[in-house]
């Protein structure tokens, strides 16, 4: 059994409001605690998307009532909120730009709107971007022109990590995250699953992409699950939405890399605790830790998971690290299959939390 600080995930989808049958702040934060995460940042591509005061208040109100671990919520950048987004900056953990295909309507193709967001979002508040391929070059350039930091979500391809490396070498203020599914798997690894269950964005790539992530590990500031739950029925339906659930398997999967020496324990803690908190300016609750059992194998079973979505792409996989206990703020929050932290006990990590009442 080893003890680590509580993990921090800067990229989850909790589907509230509008998709509570897939996941909500209650089940999502229960899954987080079971996976060893004591803080999470939730994405804004909900229904409606979180782009203004009323939609944000709805999500923050649900989070305040239901969250069992610490959390922040992102504001979404749309074409309609270029002049108002900055006024909401202290209520959220950052602004999210979607430059490529994702689940929901938040994709931002318009250069004018994109430029308006990059230039007006406060420089001291995090700006995160889903930017693949050429979009990555565009957002790096815009951030540099407007002299501000930018965080790149779920880097997955060789050319992307190479471009970020070059940008960092030139002094660009860019940070990035990578997800377990891209670090450890390729498109061919899930051929046993029905096609809909293989759908995830960014897509799973080729072995050379995966290898490039490890060859450039120093460029990858942090790990993020991109926990993106949809129900099994939706994944098996006619128009399967993209996304994998990931909170409860991330540490166990990344432990493969610790076991085979690609990742040191310090490197793991740096990328799952220290750096994500630093990038998003989040302090940890005191007396927060997890106990991880290592060296014995456990088999992933969807029916034993806390997520509401009811399936996992890792069904039946044997992992060698398992979170047994999670302590948050001095209280035992998860104990060997039982979530003990009650709904509403989580803390809003936004700088202005508590100064606003949900409308």
- Residues contributing to the site for Zn ion (CB under 5 A): 226
Query: What is the spatial distance between Cα 76 and Cα 57, in angstroms, rounded to a whole number?
Result: 13
Q: How far apart are CA 283 and CA 47, in angstroms?
A: 29
Pick between residue 35 and residue 329 the one whose CB is nearest to Zn ion: 35
Decide whether 272 or 341 has the Cβ nearer to Zn ion.
272
What is the per-residue DSSP string for 102-128?
A: -SSS-B---HHHHHHHHHHS-TTS-EE
Q: Considering beta carbons, is residue 100 or 226 the nearer one to Zn ion?
A: 226
Q: Which of 246, 329 has the CB closer to Zn ion?
A: 246
Q: Are 225 and 189 in contact (CB under 8 A)?
A: no
- Tell me whether residue 52 or residue 226 sits nearer to Zn ion (CB atom): 226
Output the CA–CA distances (angstroms, integers) from residue 326 to 32, 260, 265, 266, 341, in the order listed. Answer: 10, 26, 18, 19, 10
Minimum separation from the CB atom of position 153 to Zn ion (A) = 6
In 3D, which of 78, 86, 124, 125 has the Cα closest to residue 105? Answer: 78
Selection from 34, 20, 22 nearest residue 339 by Cα: 34
CA–CA gap between residue 359 and residue 357 (Å, rounded): 6
Report helix, strand or coil for 276: helix
Q: Which residues contact 2 (CB under 8 A, 6 or more apart)?
A: 291, 292, 294
Residue 154 or 197 with smaller CB distance to Zn ion: 154
CB of 277 to Zn ion, least distance (A): 19
Q: How far is the CB of 336 from Zn ion (least distance, A)?
A: 29
- Closest separation in Å from C-beta 196 to Zn ion: 18
Nearer to Zn ion, 100 or 209 (CB): 100
Q: How far is the CB of 32 from Zn ion (least distance, A)?
A: 15
| Neighbouring C-beta atoms of residue 356, cutoff 10 Å | 16
Kindly state the smallest distance separating residue 268's Cβ from Zn ion, in Å: 21
Instruction: Annotate 147-169 with b (16+ C-beta within 10 A) or e (fewer).
Output: ebebbbbbbbbbebbebbbebbe
DSSP 8-state code for residue 306: S
Of 135 and 327, nearer to Zn ion (C-beta) is 135
CB 13, min distance to Zn ion, A: 6
Which helix (H) or strand (E) is 55 found in, with range? helix 53-66
Instruction: Tell me which residue has its CB nearest to Zn ion.
Output: 226
Taking the complex as a whole, how short is the minimal distance between the CB of residue 291 and Zn ion, in angstroms?
29
Helix (H) or strand (E) holding 325: strand 318-328
Instruction: Tell me the closest approach of the beta carbon of residue 43 to Zn ion, in angstroms.
Output: 5
Residue number with CB closer to Zn ion (99 or 292): 99
By C-beta, is 161 or 292 nearer to Zn ion?
A: 161
| Helix or strand holding residue 166 (H, E) | helix 158-169
- For residue 111, give the nearest of 97, 93, 95 by alpha carbon: 97
Closest distance of CB 168 from Zn ion, Å: 23
Count CB neighbours of 119 within 10 A. 15
């Amino acid at each position: 059994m080893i003890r680590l600080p509580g993990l921090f995930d800067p990229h989850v989808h909790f589907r509230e409001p509008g998709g509570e049958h897939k996941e909500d702040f209650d089940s999502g934060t229960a899954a987080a605690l079971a996976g060893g995460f004591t803080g999470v940042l939730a994405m804004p591509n909900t229904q409606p998307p979180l782009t203004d005061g009323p939609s944000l208040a709805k999500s923050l109100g649900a989070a305040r009532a239901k969250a069992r671990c610490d959390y922040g919520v992102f504001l979404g950048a749309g074409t309609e909120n270029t002049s108002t987004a900055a006024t909401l900056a202290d209520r959220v953990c950052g602004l999210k730009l979607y430059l490529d295909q994702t689940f929901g309507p938040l994709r931002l193709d318009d250069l004018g709107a994109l430029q308006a967001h990059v230039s007006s979002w406060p420089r001291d508040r995090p700006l995160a971007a889903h930017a693949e391929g050429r979009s990555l070059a565009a957002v790096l350039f815009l951030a540099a022109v407007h002299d501000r930091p930018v965080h790149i979500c779920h880097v997955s391809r060789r050319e992307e990590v190479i471009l970020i490396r070059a940008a960092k070498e030139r002094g660009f203020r860019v940070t990035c995250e990578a997800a377990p599914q891209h670090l450890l798997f390729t498109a061919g690894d899930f051929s046993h699953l029905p096609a809909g269950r293989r759908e995830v964005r960014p897509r799973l790539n080729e072995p050379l992409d995966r290898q490039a992530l490890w060859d450039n590990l120093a460029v990858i500031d942090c790990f993020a699950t991109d926990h993106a739950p949809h129900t099994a029925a939706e994944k098996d339906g006619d128009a399967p939405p993209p996304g994998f659930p990931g909170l409860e398997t991330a540490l166990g999967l990344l432990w493969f890399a610790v076991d085979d020496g690609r990742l040191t324990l310090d490197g793991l803690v740096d990328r799952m605790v220290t750096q994500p908190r630093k990038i998003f300016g989040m302090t940890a609750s005191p007396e927060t830790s997890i106990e991880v059992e290592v060296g014995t194998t456990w088999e992933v079973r969807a029916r034993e998971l806390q997520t509401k979505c009811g399936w996992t792409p890792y069904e039946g996989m044997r992992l060698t690290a398992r979170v047994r206990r999670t302590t948050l703020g001095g209280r035992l929050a998860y104990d060997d299959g039982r979530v003990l932290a009650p709904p509403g006990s989580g803390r809003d990590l936004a700088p202005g939390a508590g100064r606003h009442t949900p409308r």
